Amino acid sequence: MASLVLVVGSPLLALAAVLIKLESRGPVFYRQRRVGRHGEPFELWKLRTMVPGAESMGAGIYVIEGDSRITRVGRLLRRFSLDELPNLVNVLRGELSIVGPRPTVQEQVDRYTERQRRRLEVKPGITGWAQINGRTSLPWPERIELDVWYVEHRSLCLDLRILARTVRMLATGHGLYSDELKQGW
């Protein structure tokens, strides 16, 4: 699945790369060390959506809704989650799955409670329960709790529902919120 999406998405990836280079100096790709299943570190690949050096400005490694460090092209890429296309390389390398909790940085994992560490029981994913339930509009503890809920209830049926809602979200460029989705679960 990852190979197919990467091949089909390659024209979008190329266009995004050109737009990123036209808008600002710096690399097209952004790499960041993230924590995967069982706490194993790996390097996550994304398209760069922020100004170069953003990690040393403002909120540092944290991205908040409406973050001024996000470029105009970056805002568009994030809205449709196109900045995540290079994550498919991480899927092909076995570091990510398509569905699972989004991988995070070690600094955040170090502050997890024992319950929150349950997120590390599964391979992280490109999309997941927290992503289709509000993404960055949710407070961090609520996102973690949604991910733990996913770990406790994961199934092929749930993964297919998450994928269907992700496709809907990508097609519209709008996130879905937890109250809307919790109905019927």
> How confident is the model over 46-63, as pLDDT tens digits?
999 988 877 777 766 777
* C-alpha–C-alpha distance, residues 171 and 67, integer Å: 23
> How confident is the model over 21-50, as pLDDT tens digits?
999 889 999 999 999 999 999 999 999 998
Per-residue DSSP letter, 114: T
**Phi, psi for residue 173 in degrees, rounded to 5:** 75, 15
Of 148, 161, 162, the closest CA to residue 119 belongs to 148
* 131: exposed, middle or buried (Cβ count in 10 Å: 0-12, 13-18, 19+): buried
* Residue 36: per-residue pLDDT: 96
Place 170 in a pLDDT band, splitting at 50, 70 and 90: confident
List the domain range (segments joined by +) for residue 109. 2-182
**Phi, psi for residue 98 in degrees, rounded to 5:** -70, -45
pLDDT at 70 over 70: yes
Higher pLDDT among residues 123 and 141, named by residue: 123
* C-alpha–C-alpha distance, residues 165 and 167, integer Å: 5
Q: Count the domains in the chain.
A: 1
Say which residue the tokens 């001024």 belong to. 68
* C-alpha–C-alpha distance, residues 118 and 71, integer Å: 34
* C-alpha–C-alpha distance, residues 73 and 16, integer Å: 8
